[in-house]
Structure 1
Amino acid sequence: MERNFFLGRYLIWVTLLLGQLHGYKSCVEEERNALLEVKKYIISITREEVSDYINVLPTWTYDTKSDCCRWEGVKCNRTSRRVTGIAFGTLYLKENSLLNLSLLHPFQDVRSLNLSKNEDYDTTLFSGMFDDVLGYKSLGRLRSLEILDLSLNAFNNSIFPFLNAATSLTTLSLRRNFMDGPFPAKRYKSLRRSRNLEILDLSRNSLNNSIFHFLNAVTSLKTLFLRSNNMNGLFPVEELKDLTNLELLDLGENKFNGSIPIRVLPGMRKLKALDLSSNEFYASNGMQGICQMTNIQELDLSRNKLVGPFPSCLFGLTRIQVLDLSSNQLTGKVPPALGSLGYLKYLSLLDNNFEGVFSLGSLANLSELRFFQLSSKSKSLQVESEGSWKAKFQLRVFELPSCNLVTKA
């Protein structure tokens, strides 16, 4: 879901932000010199046409009176004065620039590395890695590293052997790189050594279904983003069966099709958020599998090809807070039983083929409801509002386009 309510996604970015806050004391001299070596290297791979008017890492200065813990993008531990977080920010690197991991080895206490680029700038960052000391084991030298953001770079599948050594990682983002499929899982070891990895973002690449064979050993995963890749076929139930700790799964904007599975393996019953939007699923009466996920709080099935009546088994999801069934082909009446989903905050039923009469009064007891959308392409849906009922909710968004609104005294 590309909205604020899809809270799981922002776990990555909030954590990374915390990793960039400034400390209070100057870092140790060894690490200060190491930061200046990093800057020197970045200058050497900066595009010549911009180096004359862009000051690379301007706060990283040779002035010995400058507190390097207050340099932009640097965070230090308040007690030990060692660097715990590094973020480069927007850079303008030469094409095919490589990340020299050995320059980061002095930072033994670093917990977060943000090497992503700024989405607002047309720049290219790193396209690969090199290391003349330890090769693929190089990232493993950073034994305290927990958060690694390599998003919006130009890495391809060859990045994975380096990552296999980073056993301390809890959060890894490779969003919007150049990874694609078929993915040669036999060539690269899986991330089975990453027993601490909980958040993984591989969205907006060109990966296909072969990536699942690589991921199925990462049983510690709680949050997995595979949005906007080249995946297709049926819902990958079997491929996900070993990821028994998953709480958030985003498979939106792919090409999955067919009926949503009628059964769900026990390992998926911990899911709290599931995004299957912008695929080609159909047959709303075959969603018994999803309805077995009794812990679901956020469900996005928008922009699919769901046909038939509103799936009544969804009323068993008593904890659901976000439900989006917009832009499908649902028919029949909008069920008044929606009012029984007492935790609903967000409900979108836009752009379907509903008919008949729906009373807004049936939602009166949804005290948490803040966002409501309803419309029908058939233009034969009548929305009825009775003057005698009092709503407990305080809506911030209320949209009824293409509906016939009738008010009763």
Structure 2
Amino acid sequence: MNLTTLNRLDLKENNLQGEIPYFLFMLENLTYLDLVDNMLEGQIELDMLSKLKKLTALGLGGGNKLSFHEGNNTSNVTFPAQIQVLHLSSCNIVHFPNFIQHLQELTDLYISDNSIKTIPSWLWNKTTLQSLEISNNLLMGEISPSICNLQSLGDLDLSSNNLVGMIPSCLGSFSQSLQLLNISGNKLTGNIPQIYVKRNVLRFIDFSSNKLYGQLPRALVNCRRLEFLDVRHNHFNDSFPFWLGSLPKLKVVSLSNNEFHGAIMCPLKYTFPQLRIMDLSQNGFSMNLTSEIIMCFKSMIISNKRHLDFKDEIFIGNEVADLDSNLFSMSNKGVVMDYLGGQYLRHMVAIDLSCNKIYGEIPDIMGSLNGLVVLNLSNNMFTGSIPSSLGKLSNLEVLDLSLNSLSGNIPQQLAGLTFLDFFNVSFNNLSGPIPENGQLSTFDDNSFKGNKDLCGIPIGEEM
């Protein structure tokens, strides 16, 4: 087969193994070469690419085990300067490649999962950039305010590094095209900037796992296209941001592991019309859980169909992820929602109120949220009985009511939750027999311990 006239070669995600075929770098007519997400091995030198003078897109990284070496002397290397898309993730790169400085038409740069410690100042002059992903490196120091020269950016990901200092105030307003902003997993401090201009197109904001504090900026209400907001694992001290309920497309809100406090409320005009995931766990919310509060989440009422195929899919850069079976990590506080970095969920519908100071009875109307896949009310101060209406949550896979003061019997209706994969009512004041001949009989005694008047299969005797 004569490949010399080939101009496009897309081999991504094909499980290719072994040594990278070096003859590919002899195909002088290639304009597009994508080897991303295979299992190829080998070392690539910069001068090997010098014959690909027509190349506009190059993908080498992802799941491969390649090493990219620029070399000490690049002045004599003629690299295809018209490159627009460059994917060098997971290429064992230690220093930011200097040749990128000469790519005048570069629009998309993916250089994540390497060992880069510093970003050269010339990168902030590459105003053609539309996507910049440098996540999971060893970046140190502060985020340069010069980053806001990149006014064409639509996708910015600096997550999982060692960045310190404050978030540049311009990050909320520098680009009218920015859709994805991810600076999670760093050591950033201070407040989130208040500047979020009207008519912005932000759809995805992740500030999680930093050292940010203060209040959430009310200017977030200007993000009318926002679908995903994650600020978990910080030090925010604020009341429940009910005003987020005015955002027409918001699907995921995670405030977990902060210092939010007071009552959860949503006035009539703040209805969270598209909400799918609300994670308020490990905060200081304290109130009686009323029916009015539950109706804040009425968008979780769907047709009673297993994993309804939503048409309003959650934005993940350019991808949509399916339900991840590793979503749930176990702890002594029950089930903790874990979004696993960039893996967001197409079909997930969840409420997590665990580890707060919420009291009173669980309202019967909770059973009307029949789209729920996860319901975690553990480690609160709930009293009264378990509502039998929870048996109507036919899509439920996780139900955690542990570490409360619930009393009475376990409703027989819960035995009909056929998709239930995790169930925990331990350490309450429950009594009577555990329902038999249903899903609850598949769980071991860890799901029921700490209820001294509970008896029957699977525990076999009074506890």
Alignment TM-score, normalising by the size of structure 1: 0.69
Question: 1:170-190 deviations in whole A, cap 9, x for unaligned?
Answer: 2211113344445563xxx42
Equivalent residue number for residue 228 of structure 1: 233
Work out the percentage of aligned pairs sharing the same amino acid: 22
Equivalent residue number for residue 218 of structure 2: 213
- More off after superposition, 340-349 vs 261-270: 261-270
Q: Of 318, 323, 328, which residue of structure 1 is paired with 2:380?
A: 328
User: Does the 8 Å contact 2:166/2:191 carry over to 1?
Assistant: no
Equivalent residue number for residue 144 of structure 2: 129
**Residue 98 to residue 129, structure 1, CA distance change in 2 (3 Å):** farther
Give 1:83 deviation, angstroms.
7.2
User: Does the 8 Å contact 1:367/1:393 carry over to 2?
Assistant: no
User: Does the 8 Å contact 1:309/1:330 carry over to 2?
Assistant: yes
Equivalent residue number for residue 450 of structure 2: 402
**Residue 277 to residue 335, structure 1, CA distance change in 2 (3 Å):** same
* Matches of 1:300 and 1:392, distance apart in 2: 21
* Matches of 1:352 and 1:161, distance apart in 2: 45
Q: Of 69, 87, 112, which residue of structure 1 is paired with 2:111?
A: 87
Are positions 1:177 and 2:186 aligned together?
yes
Equivalent residue number for residue 36 of structure 2: 21
Alignment TM-score, normalising by the size of structure 2: 0.61
Equivalent residue number for residue 343 of structure 2: none
User: Does the 8 Å contact 1:262/1:286 carry over to 2?
Assistant: no
Q: Of 333, 337, 353, which residue of structure 2 is paired with 1:301?
A: 353
Question: 1:17-40 deviations in whole A, cap 9, x for unaligned?
Answer: xx99369996965999x99xxxxx
Question: 1:270-311 deviations in whole A, cap 9, x for unaligned?
Answer: 211101101112233335233232123210000011112223
* Matches of 2:174 and 2:107, distance apart in 1: 21
User: Does the 8 Å contact 1:294/1:318 carry over to 2?
Assistant: no
Any gaps of 5 or more consecutive residues in structure 2?
1-33, 41-47, 60-65, 92-104, 301-348
Question: 1:303-347 deviations in whole A, cap 9, x for unaligned?
Answer: 011112223231221221110000111112222221111111110
Alignment of 1:69-218 (within 5 A): 71-73=88-90, 84-91=108-115, 93=117, 97=118, 99-100=120-121, 102=123, 105=126, 108=128, 112-117=131-136, 123-129=138-144, 135=146, 137-140=148-151, 143=152, 145-161=154-170, 164-182=173-191, 185=194, 189-192=195-198, 194-195=200-201, 197-218=202-223
| SS in structure 2 at match of 1:269 | coil
Are positions 1:316 and 2:368 aligned together?
yes
* Matches of 1:166 and 1:87, distance apart in 2: 21
Alignment of 1:43-54 (within 5 A): none
Give 1:161 deviation, angstroms.
1.5
Please provide the CA RMSD for this pair.
4.2
Q: Of 378, 381, 386, which residue of structure 1 is paired with 2:430?
A: 381
Equivalent residue number for residue 11 of structure 1: none
Equivalent residue number for residue 244 of structure 1: 248
Question: 1:173-224 deviations in whole A, cap 9, x for unaligned?
Answer: 1113344445563xxx4244631x2110012334345442342222211000
User: Does the 8 Å contact 1:168/1:194 carry over to 2?
Assistant: yes
User: Does the 8 Å contact 1:180/1:206 carry over to 2?
Assistant: yes
User: Does the 8 Å contact 1:244/1:266 carry over to 2?
Assistant: no
* Matches of 1:100 and 1:393, distance apart in 2: 62
**Residue 117 to residue 256, structure 1, CA distance change in 2 (3 Å):** same
User: Does the 8 Å contact 1:99/1:128 carry over to 2?
Assistant: no
User: Does the 8 Å contact 1:60/1:71 carry over to 2?
Assistant: no
Equivalent residue number for residue 358 of structure 1: 410
- More off after superposition, 389-398 vs 248-257: 389-398
Structure with more helix by fraction: 1
User: Does the 8 Å contact 2:242/2:266 carry over to 1?
Assistant: no
**Residue 321 to residue 184, structure 1, CA distance change in 2 (3 Å):** closer
Q: Of 273, 276, 279, which residue of structure 2 is paired with 1:275?
A: 279
Any gaps of 5 or more consecutive residues in structure 1?
1-18, 36-56, 75-80
| SS in structure 2 at match of 1:314 | helix
**Residue 98 to residue 250, structure 1, CA distance change in 2 (3 Å):** same
**Residue 291 to residue 212, structure 1, CA distance change in 2 (3 Å):** same
Give 1:117 deviation, angstroms.
3.1
User: Does the 8 Å contact 1:368/1:393 carry over to 2?
Assistant: no
